[in-house]
Structure 1
Amino acid sequence: MKHILRPKLLWLAFMSFIFIASCNEDDTEGLTEPSHRVIFTSEMDFENKVEINGSITFGDASPGVVSREWNFPEGTANVSNSAEQNVKATFKKAGVHNVTLNQVFKNDAYVGTQLKGKELDTTIVVTVLNPVKTEIKANYINPDGTLGAALDISDNAENEVVASRSVQFSYVVDGEPEVFKWNIDGGDPATFDGTDTEVNVKYKRQGTYNLSFAATRQRPFGGDTISFKNLIKVIPSTDPVDLEKVVDKNGAIALVFSREMDETSLNAADFNVTITNNETNIPATVGTVNIDSDEGNIVLINLDGTTIYNNDIINVSYTKGALKTLDGVESESFVDSQLIFNKVNILKESSDYDYSFENSTAANWPYTNWGAPWDAYSLEISTDQAQDGTKSAYIEMDANGGMIIGHKTTSGDNITFSVEAGKTYEIGVWVYVTSLGNNNAAGFDPDLRFFWFPDTDWAVSGNPNFGSDFTVGEWVYSSTFVEFSTTGDKSFQIRGYNQDNPEIISFYMDNLSVSEASLRP
């Protein structure tokens, strides 16, 4: 009878080893020797994986064996005596190999708690990996977003990249590495450690920059790092300069532009800042304006005598004046660009929550059985729109319908995040509305609400409220501030309300966040 033992089964067999004895008719002869299959390997806890020229010890601890023979595929391994109880094999050929053991027992042998006969064949699956080897490629990204020509990947290549344009880097690896790390001197992002085989990098600052890429694995331990000096040379541009985002930095308001700005062109009088908090206007006077000493594409606005807080709504406007890039392109005016605070997202940093919808399917966001009308919706993971990354959740709530979803593992367990009582947190979400439907002025606006369990606050506010003036066709950030009554792990159930809307509301949802917040006193 033939059996295949994979690593977990090997371990179970080892742990479940019991001596089964029976008395013969003459009690003076004592107990007979049991026959029981017990096989183990030195790498059984690590899926029997080794690198080429690595070794595994195979052990047969089965009592009652009359004879045994280990068999290895021809040409794959150097092996000690194949009839020994323990054999050590050094593998010299990459691939998935079946190592077999033929055993003959004195009596019918137990496998677990079942008798399986006197002769047993067992197969142990071994994976032999090549050493980790990496190779990277790069292509320009054309202004229209299509993939352009390949770059020369070599030291001192100085591939010319126009400031504010992007390059797509990709990798090919051998040896099944598990961890990947890009260090991208001068690029945005400057580092990247995701498993994505492609990463798009924007270069905003003129200069010549290096690049390195590392791929590693823990077991069997190994890795490969490649680096290139002076790979990218960023040159001046005539492209328009874009204001990419407004964030906070060390208490200042940071305007992040698509490339380096000329400090001599800054004039504080060209900028205006408005702050509101709970519909109250907070006086704000622009004090100094300067270039960030670390990142030349960031303009820092410092306010005179005013501190900004997470629950402030802060908008920045610029009236066209002298502001220009280092390569001489003038900035156009912009009005009411909202500041989005930089925050430590608990869902990203210390939870398995798929906050950006990049690594889950619709099945991981199931309906949680609240009954009608909370089942009147549809949800899919889409690549049509993304606030960040490549995916988001696309949701349609039916006319007079609603939604209630959780986030679960494939086995149905809630995915949780940890919080502390007594602290204030900001729950944030980005939405991109494609249709608001036809809100009924006599009823309630559609909204989203983030309820948490256990110990939810049923009075938590809409986040967002989809009023008739809600922006359509753009990504919009919404947040609400909450306190959790107990410390511990929480899970979200996200409720969508559309009961007073006689038409479908449709939107994308991305980049959920939970972060500690500092509120205006």
Structure 2
Amino acid sequence: MNLKKIKTYIWFIAVALFINACSDDSNELSLTEPNHRVVYTSQMDFENKININGEIDFGDISAGVESRTWTFPEGVVDIVGSDDDINSSKDVVKTIFNTVGEHSVHLNQIFKGDAFVGTELRGKELDTTIIVTVLSPVTATINANFINDDGSLGAALNIADMAENEVTASKSVRFTYATDGAPEEFVWNFDGGDPTEVTAAPIETDVKYKKMGTYDIQFIASRARPYGGDTIYLKDFIKVIASTDPVDLEQVTDKDGDIALVFSREMDASTLNKDNFSIIIENGGVITPTIKKASVDATEGNIILLELDGEGIYNDDVIKVSYTPGVLATLDAVKATAFTDEILEFTKINILDVASDYDHSFENSTADNWPYMWWGGVWGEYDLEISDIKAQDGSKSAYIEFRPNGGMIIGHKNTAGDQITFPAETGKNYEIGIWVYVEDLGANDPAGFAPDVRFFWWPDTNWGVGGNPTFTSDFKTGEWVYSKTYAQFNETGDKTFQIRGYNEANPERLKFYMDNLSVSEVSLRP
């Protein structure tokens, strides 16, 4: 920011605004100079944060000033071009701060008359305090500990290049860090680990190693303004060795149209036999497809891919996978054990997470952001709060109680009161999902409709959308349950949910937690 240019511009405007026009019979001009406080710093757009030994300029371009005194903290500042490092009467003062911490800079101004601050008229003498934050260089240290089988923290690893700390395949390591200099970005890179990268990293990060080999780690702590950073890179830090522990099937999911079996460590492709696996698909009937090929994934050796012969898999299928023991084993020669009817969990992209400000996980909103939508009648007979008692993941969820014979209708709004929306397209199928944890079902009247939650959307809703979930008398309590329904949107554009709860036939309160709403594009079986 060029303070001299700003001063010239403001003076020009002031003169133009306050010149009195000459009378018809006089050539005299009458000028009225304004009194207006205008104070700047060269880092005002960045909260006056600077690095130690960094420069920051202070400017007083106020109109109508008779005198000014800048006062700087003693022993902290070097005023450039001056032998006095505490006081200055200049309109522009260039400084270098040489001490870390928060420091107060004071400006005393005496004007020719009462002065404006913004649009408010103040007195003739004004005092201003500017806080400057001086940051030390960004530095980082890291630590790592084994995680014991019972989940407790184990021995520390050797933090050094070429340490080759031995980690048994399928075991985990907890990484922590400490920093100085107020960095704002934190990134871990774990070669050979799961996860391989963590951004916006928490203080503690657990990493599982499934593949034998020797791996590097990297940690970066940085800030953009004032710029600073520190990088720790340790080569050959982890050495993953063979295990005699059983190999676990951690997940059954999908990958590129195939069924993916995710094991706790790398599998030996030479021990694969597709005939040892069987699959059942349930969707209005039962399909027993033939497995065309079984292979180890080319990039993730702990994943086995099952390719079906002439049959696709769809998001509304219930897919069960079983394994009859053969010779399937890990690369460290541990045989896989049998499993039966393991359910496939599809990998989906939550639009509320990647393309919307919708607080689908309730981590960043308050109850005020989930307001009653004024349907009248029973629809305001509920209580809602954001709770940290239970969460499906993260630390918060919505705790809801439907009052006896009551109901609920809520939306989701930002602090400005605007509806928070998400994008959707016509002609596509979507899964609307929700996790619920029921504490008390109440006493629903069997002759009445069961309590439920329904996700209506605006505009162009489908009023016939089903309960999601419906709280039948045998609905599971005391555990997290995933519920879903499928929907199509008649118009492409932004949508917002109105979430309706029904409890009219229940003479008691229905109490539950709700977490992790999702809207995902899916493929349904024709």
Q: Work out which of the residue numbers 381, 400, 420 in structure 2 matches 1:415.
A: 420
C-alpha displacement at 1:152, in angstroms?
A: 2.1
Q: Work out which of the residue numbers 332, 343, 348 in structure 2 matches 1:343.
A: 348
What SS is found at the alignment partner of 2:352?
helix
Residue 41 of structure 1 aligns with which residue? Answer: 41
Q: Does structure 1 residue 213 correspond to structure 2 residue 219?
A: yes
Residue 310 of structure 1 aligns with which residue? Answer: 315
> Are residues 338 and 449 of structure 1, via their aligned partners in 2, closer, same or farther at CA, if it must alter by over 3 Å?
farther
CA deviation map 1:218-248 (0-9, x unaligned): 2222222212112222223333333222211
Residue 10 of structure 1 aligns with which residue? Answer: none
What SS is found at the alignment partner of 2:282?
strand
What SS is found at the alignment partner of 2:161?
coil
C-alpha displacement at 1:439, in angstroms?
A: 5.0
C-alpha separation between the residues in 2 aligned to 1:329 and 1:363?
54
Q: Does structure 1 residue 483 correspond to structure 2 residue 488?
A: yes
C-alpha separation between the residues in 2 aligned to 1:265 and 1:454?
55
CA deviation map 1:158-184 (0-9, x unaligned): 222232222222222222222221111
> Are residues 426 and 445 of structure 1, via their aligned partners in 2, closer, same or farther at CA, if it must alter by over 3 Å?
same
Residue 289 of structure 2 aligns with which residue? Answer: 284
C-alpha displacement at 1:392, in angstroms?
A: 4.2
What SS is found at the alignment partner of 2:275?
helix
> Are residues 319 and 398 of structure 1, via their aligned partners in 2, closer, same or farther at CA, if it must alter by over 3 Å?
farther
Residue 170 of structure 1 aligns with which residue? Answer: 176
Asked whether the equivalents of residues 382 and 394 of structure 1 are also in contact (C-alpha less than 8 Å), the reply is no
Asked whether the equivalents of residues 361 and 381 of structure 1 are also in contact (C-alpha less than 8 Å), the reply is no
> Are residues 508 and 143 of structure 1, via their aligned partners in 2, closer, same or farther at CA, if it must alter by over 3 Å?
farther
Sequence identity percentage = 59
C-alpha displacement at 1:47, in angstroms?
A: 1.5
> Are residues 472 and 239 of structure 1, via their aligned partners in 2, closer, same or farther at CA, if it must alter by over 3 Å?
farther
**TM-score normalised by the chain length of structure 2:** 0.86
> Are residues 500 and 271 of structure 1, via their aligned partners in 2, closer, same or farther at CA, if it must alter by over 3 Å?
farther
Q: Does structure 1 residue 140 correspond to structure 2 residue 127?
A: no
> Are residues 123 and 349 of structure 1, via their aligned partners in 2, closer, same or farther at CA, if it must alter by over 3 Å?
same
Q: Work out which of the residue numbers 111, 123, 146 in structure 2 matches 1:105.
A: 111
> Are residues 134 and 265 of structure 1, via their aligned partners in 2, closer, same or farther at CA, if it must alter by over 3 Å?
same
**Letter matched to residue 43 of structure 2:** E
**TM-score normalised by the chain length of structure 1:** 0.86
Residue 3 of structure 1 aligns with which residue? Answer: none
C-alpha displacement at 1:438, in angstroms?
A: 5.2
Q: Does structure 1 residue 449 correspond to structure 2 residue 461?
A: no
C-alpha displacement at 1:304, in angstroms?
A: 0.6
C-alpha separation between the residues in 2 aligned to 1:434 and 1:256?
33
Q: Does structure 1 residue 516 correspond to structure 2 residue 516?
A: no
Asked whether the equivalents of residues 248 and 339 of structure 1 are also in contact (C-alpha less than 8 Å), the reply is yes
CA deviation map 1:98-120 (0-9, x unaligned): 11111111222222233322221
C-alpha displacement at 1:125, in angstroms?
A: 1.7
> Are residues 57 and 203 of structure 1, via their aligned partners in 2, closer, same or farther at CA, if it must alter by over 3 Å?
same
Asked whether the equivalents of residues 379 and 396 of structure 1 are also in contact (C-alpha less than 8 Å), the reply is no
C-alpha displacement at 1:506, in angstroms?
A: 4.6
Residue 200 of structure 2 aligns with which residue? Answer: 194
C-alpha separation between the residues in 2 aligned to 1:208 and 1:442?
65
Asked whether the equivalents of residues 265 and 330 of structure 2 are also in contact (C-alpha less than 8 Å), the reply is yes
> Are residues 182 and 33 of structure 1, via their aligned partners in 2, closer, same or farther at CA, if it must alter by over 3 Å?
same
Structure 2 unaligned spans of 5+:
1-9, 83-87
Q: CA RMSD in A?
A: 3.0
Aligned residues: 504
Residue 11 of structure 1 aligns with which residue? Answer: none
Asked whether the equivalents of residues 279 and 288 of structure 2 are also in contact (C-alpha less than 8 Å), the reply is no
> Which structure: larger Rg?
2
**Letter matched to residue 275 of structure 1:** I
C-alpha displacement at 1:270, in angstroms?
A: 2.6
> Are residues 32 and 380 of structure 1, via their aligned partners in 2, closer, same or farther at CA, if it must alter by over 3 Å?
closer
Comparing 183-192 and 437-446, the one that deviates more: 437-446
**Letter matched to residue 31 of structure 2:** L
Asked whether the equivalents of residues 279 and 289 of structure 2 are also in contact (C-alpha less than 8 Å), the reply is yes
> Are residues 395 and 160 of structure 1, via their aligned partners in 2, closer, same or farther at CA, if it must alter by over 3 Å?
farther
CA deviation map 1:172-215 (0-9, x unaligned): 22222222211111221111113422222222222222111112
Residue 411 of structure 2 aligns with which residue? Answer: 406
C-alpha separation between the residues in 1 aligned to 2:364 and 2:434?
17
Asked whether the equivalents of residues 248 and 340 of structure 1 are also in contact (C-alpha less than 8 Å), the reply is yes
C-alpha separation between the residues in 1 aligned to 2:404 and 2:329?
49
Residue 5 of structure 2 aligns with which residue? Answer: none
C-alpha separation between the residues in 2 aligned to 1:473 and 1:407?
27
**Letter matched to residue 342 of structure 1:** T
C-alpha separation between the residues in 2 aligned to 1:337 and 1:283?
15
Asked whether the equivalents of residues 177 and 215 of structure 1 are also in contact (C-alpha less than 8 Å), the reply is yes
